[in-house]
Structure 1
């Protein structure tokens, strides 16, 4: 991989000659030959106007134009996409600037206190290379097609909606503990329609209960089929906030488990913070009854909202799903890693099972392993799979995945 790093072009921006030379020596030790430097933001912009650069190392404290101004200018002028942010200031400030840079559209490879360590630099540059590869290999996202409530109603009637299932594995040993059911819709003429389009559509037009019940029955059919194969693992299903206001939902779910011969203890309902923003008493009543009936409750997307700590005291949860935004690249962001570690520790003290979702890289997987997270879910281990593909993956893909991890 160092040979790939050697092909990168790097600009080191720092007002200290000693620090610039030190950073350039670290780059040279990794084989980088296309190296440039600047003593302040204004000089850095001149370099970027004259040539293409892959990665810019930015010191925050500089005369004439500081690092914050440089980052904003680079983003506005689209001069480069990837930066490593450095400072002798406290980690909270550095992380905040990193957040600003990402909001401006830059690719932040890492935010570090000085001095920059060789391993941190190498990991950041390898991350740049890996992200470029991932972008090249990712299929083009389909253009979001506009669909109407009538089309969704017809899709429900015609059985066009289906489910894919993403495995949830133990971090240690990669044992299959469950799957999350994810709604899918392939329109006969318009192709794949994103859940981000049709689920809000169903909520706006009063079809969410019909959609939820339709997909739950389908999910239970698959679970019963897996049980007939001798496969017993948990099924997770996302509940809309509006479904929690359905007074008949709990009784209907209990009957559904009886009809399909499924134990409530093998079903987890995932709810987001939005579930508690409406009629709070109604939502808590439904969640409490679900728990009393033996179902599990998971707080989904933890780390994305403002009232998360309050959620933990309100919701009768058994599981905490840590959002990708907290997990991804925590190794390169000390402040984020601290928050992630404290989140895992808090969940353990509350006897909640922890699930890291959206794990996409080996680096992400390594840090959740180090922090003692219980379960993992994400493209690094498996994409969402349609039922037949899931069975094939369980029979052969899972053991292959374990062998690959043992070799790392």
Structure 2
């Protein structure tokens, strides 16, 4: 699998010799050596059929076969998976073609107005590498079939653990809290994705014991941090199925009391799709949690079908805006508009806003511009195990602030 930009194969398609040479020079400056050029869509298809290409840069305005036709042909013939779309035209048009390409099954690394900037190209190629690694991991996880019996044994044998991703203030990059993320270290199959074992737990009636197991670990860590003088919020995900448990509020309160965790320093996160099920049961549980002093966050907002009316019914304190709205919003005017209106909606509902999945400086600049309250994502820190989190708080956070002060 490709691991560095230098190992990528790139095809630049542009009828302008000057623009094509400029883009190729940018690739060379990044270390790309397997580099090819095409003057129009027909030439590009011939090049793609002759060799394996990782990334294709596509200019939309070309004779013989334009960029839109080329992209459709690439998708239909499955000649490559990843494209970068370029044009001197309106950004909304470029973004629309990107949406078309994604609907056709292509991975759109970027949609940019010309001239292509070096940082934009580098981020796009790094995104290809990062996403290729994730895709391989997902394939590996699919191959690792696990059973409910194995999951039940994992709870007994202490195989479940937690990683924590920091949540920072947009202004000043202060540590406001951490989100607890479930991890399963299988003794023979390695790390099992939450996307595999959480649905498994929900299907086989194991979600409550899994929740109790992980929450107890989270509260133990929270108590330890408090003993060190660290008082930040702990966010923990609740399954929609758990909201129907009439006893959940009582045992959540009892566990928090047992580990001396203040209720107002805990946020329970639910996905917006949880609002589409038994709404009355969900609101009853969430209302009781709020009355006790816990905070409630609506997670992954933008991926489901919740609307403003539903949001207004939920006693939430926080809205977490999904990566799908955040990522590359600067290059996609329509997406930026939706992102902006979502932030405005949250403010009107008196909700704290959190941007999830922040990966680039470009994304962060838009977040600052729109007045989002909190951020989390790989741009600031990956999820960290408890010991690594303490080290990051001592040294990594200070280094992060200095880096941003220098920009």
Q: Deviations over 1:280-323 (max 9, x none)?
A: 11011111111111111111001112224343222211111111
1:21 deviation in Å?
6.2
Task: Give the 3-state SS of the residue equivalent to 1:110 in structure 2.
Answer: strand
Q: Deviations over 1:199-247 (max 9, x none)?
A: 1111001111111112111111111111111110000000000000000
Alignment of 1:78-93 (within 5 A): 78-79=79-80, 81-86=82-87, 88=89, 91=92
1:146 deviation in Å?
1.3
Matched, 1:269 2:265: no
**Structure 1 unmatched runs, 5+:** 15-19
1:97 deviation in Å?
2.8
Identify the residue that residue 45 of structure 2 maps to in structure 1. 45
C-alpha distance 62-215 of structure 1, shift in aligned 2 (>3 A): same
1:329 deviation in Å?
1.3
Matched, 1:278 2:277: yes
Q: Deviations over 1:339-387 (max 9, x none)?
A: 1122112212222111111112222222212222111111111111111
Alignment of 1:197-212 (within 5 A): 197-212=196-211
CA distance in 2, matches of 1:349, 1:263: 28
* Conserved? CA contact 1:124–1:332, under 8 Å: no
C-alpha distance 220-79 of structure 1, shift in aligned 2 (>3 A): closer
Identify the residue that residue 230 of structure 2 maps to in structure 1. 231
Task: Give the 3-state SS of the residue equivalent to 1:141 in structure 2.
Answer: helix
* Conserved? CA contact 2:109–2:125, under 8 Å: no
Q: Figure out how many residues of one structure are paired with residues of the other and give that number.
A: 392
Identify the residue that residue 100 of structure 1 maps to in structure 2. 100
341-350 vs 126-135, which moves further: 126-135
* Conserved? CA contact 2:380–2:400, under 8 Å: yes
Identify the residue that residue 373 of structure 2 maps to in structure 1. 374
Task: Give the 3-state SS of the residue equivalent to 2:300 in structure 1.
Answer: strand
Identify the residue that residue 164 of structure 2 maps to in structure 1. 165
1:56 deviation in Å?
2.4
C-alpha distance 9-159 of structure 1, shift in aligned 2 (>3 A): closer
Matched, 1:318 2:314: no
Alignment of 1:109-258 (within 5 A): 109-112=109-112, 116-118=113-115, 120-131=116-127, 134=130, 141=137, 143-144=140-141, 145-258=144-257
CA distance in 1, matches of 2:135, 2:195: 18
* Conserved? CA contact 2:109–2:128, under 8 Å: no
Q: Deviations over 1:157-197 (max 9, x none)?
A: 22221111111111121111100011111112222111111
1:405 deviation in Å?
2.0
Q: TM-score, normalised by structure 1?
A: 0.85
C-alpha distance 400-134 of structure 1, shift in aligned 2 (>3 A): same
1:198 deviation in Å?
1.0
* Conserved? CA contact 1:83–1:106, under 8 Å: no
126-135 vs 167-176, which moves further: 126-135
1:390 deviation in Å?
1.0
Identify the residue that residue 291 of structure 2 maps to in structure 1. 292
* Conserved? CA contact 1:355–1:373, under 8 Å: yes
363-372 vs 378-387, which moves further: 363-372
Q: Deviations over 1:244-297 (max 9, x none)?
A: 000011111122222222221111011112212221110111111111111111
CA distance in 2, matches of 1:209, 1:236: 17
* Conserved? CA contact 2:286–2:296, under 8 Å: yes
Alignment of 1:39-78 (within 5 A): 41-49=41-49, 54-59=55-60, 65-75=65-75, 76-78=77-79
165-174 vs 138-147, which moves further: 138-147
C-alpha distance 84-90 of structure 1, shift in aligned 2 (>3 A): closer
C-alpha distance 205-134 of structure 1, shift in aligned 2 (>3 A): closer
CA distance in 2, matches of 1:102, 1:207: 36
CA distance in 2, matches of 1:158, 1:302: 35
C-alpha distance 99-204 of structure 1, shift in aligned 2 (>3 A): same
1:337 deviation in Å?
1.6
1:85 deviation in Å?
4.5
C-alpha distance 221-10 of structure 1, shift in aligned 2 (>3 A): same
**Structure 2 unmatched runs, 5+:** 30-34
1:123 deviation in Å?
4.2
C-alpha distance 281-94 of structure 1, shift in aligned 2 (>3 A): same
